[in-house]
Amino acid sequence: MNLKSSKTLKVLASVCLLFALASAAFPQGRGRTWLRGTWEGTGYQIDDNSTWTMSLTASGRRYKIEYPSLNCGGEWRRLSIDSRRARFRERLNRGLDVCSNKGTVVVERLNATQVIFLYYRQGEKVVSSSAILDKKR
């Protein structure tokens, strides 16, 4: 083996190693980080045509949800997440007399700055409320 082919082999091995590391790390990060940040919007209640403000703060594995105009809030517990869709169980700790609790939330990525929020009441298979949320930070 000559010196030139040895260098070529080392460069090729380094490129393959970097590609393998990037391939292993990038999809995991992309699949779990698109929802990080603060998202705000106006929710729409389908059955009574009412609207309300909402704010989601996602940091690591914590998802804090606030419905300021309804004085409700709590957290979402993640059930699943991939590169464009996440499912949660909502657990409110205040405003239980005004807001539904323990429903299923689906959030889908529309683009880098917008997601769609869909809420299913506990035990139901039809959407009861929805919103478009804009990324604030």
107 forms beta bridges with: 86, 117
CA distance 108 to 132: 10
**What is residue 16's predicted lDDT score, i.e. its pLDDT?**
33
**What is residue 5's predicted lDDT score, i.e. its pLDDT?**
47
pLDDT reading at 23 higher than 90: no
Domain ranges across the chain: 1-32, 34-135
**What is residue 27's predicted lDDT score, i.e. its pLDDT?**
40
What is the percentage of the chain residues whose pLDDT exceeds 70? 77
3-state class (DSSP) for residue 13: helix
pLDDT per position as a tens digit, 99-114: 999 999 999 999 999 9
Work out the average pLDDT over 6-16. Answer: 40
pLDDT per position as a tens digit, 46-61: 999 999 999 999 999 9
pLDDT per position as a tens digit, 127-136: 999 999 999 9
Task: Identify whether the C-beta of residue 78 lies closer than 8 Å to the C-beta of residue 88.
Answer: yes
Task: Identify whether the C-beta of residue 42 lies closer than 8 Å to the C-beta of residue 129.
Answer: no
Q: Looking at residue 83, what DSSP letter applies?
A: S
Q: What's the sign of the alpha-carbon dihedral 104, 115, 50, 93?
A: positive
Q: How many CB atoms lie within 10 A of CB 70?
A: 16
**What is residue 51's predicted lDDT score, i.e. its pLDDT?**
97
The CATH number given to 34-135 is: 2.40.128.380
42 forms beta bridges with: 53, 132
